[in-house]
Amino acid sequence: MTGRLPHSLRSDALDNRERILDASRALFAAEGLDVSMREIARRAGVGPATLYRRFPTKQLLVTEVFTDEMHACHAIVEEGRADPDPWRGFCLVIERLCELHARNRGFTDAFMSAFPDAMDFAAGREHTLASIAELARRAKATGRLRPDFVLDDLILMLMANRGIHATSTATQITASRRFAALMIRAFQAP
């Protein structure tokens, strides 16, 4: 459904759609996915019927809202995999994923399977995790990543990173960077 719009949308309908997406992005980033559809409609300045006409389910809205973040997540992992030093690539992935997730609480919720039936999102998540697992295997082979590291450690890290709360996005990102540095030290082979 993402990226496909009927060609017959009027300009006011397109404006409503963009306002819904903008409001959803802001609310999900700040508060996570527990935001109600009614609150999204209110923030967008549209009625609930307009919201549901554009996005019949919250799952469809979440998938549409986080398409860009999922692409950014893929790009981070691919950049890490492309590094000739797997440990350095692994560290880059940890640092950048923590920052990406610190900037957007809703994306963490979505990535952590809040909507497992969203096929586009589930496939993207599985591809990302498989790519990280492959990078971790290569980093282990260098002797720099702990031999007992498992992908669940990464999931726990993302869950813990989501728990960082701060008064501003900048403070949250700073705290997330410190957390990422601590996790890298914990993941490093003794």
Domain that holds residue 44: 11-62
The pTM is what? 0.80
pLDDT over 70 at 24, yes or no: yes
45 CB neighbour count, 10 Å cutoff = 12
Over residues 29-48, the mean pLDDT reads 92
Average of per-residue pLDDT values in the chain: 88
- Residue 41 covered by a domain: yes
Is 47 in the same domain as 81? no
3-state secondary structure string across 68-118: HHHHHHHHHHHHHHHCCCHHHHHHHHHHHHHHHHHHCHHHHHHHCCCCCCC
Is 169 in the same domain as 104? yes
- Residue 5 covered by a domain: no
Over residues 27-54, the mean pLDDT reads 92
Rounded Cα distance between 19 and 29, Å, is 15
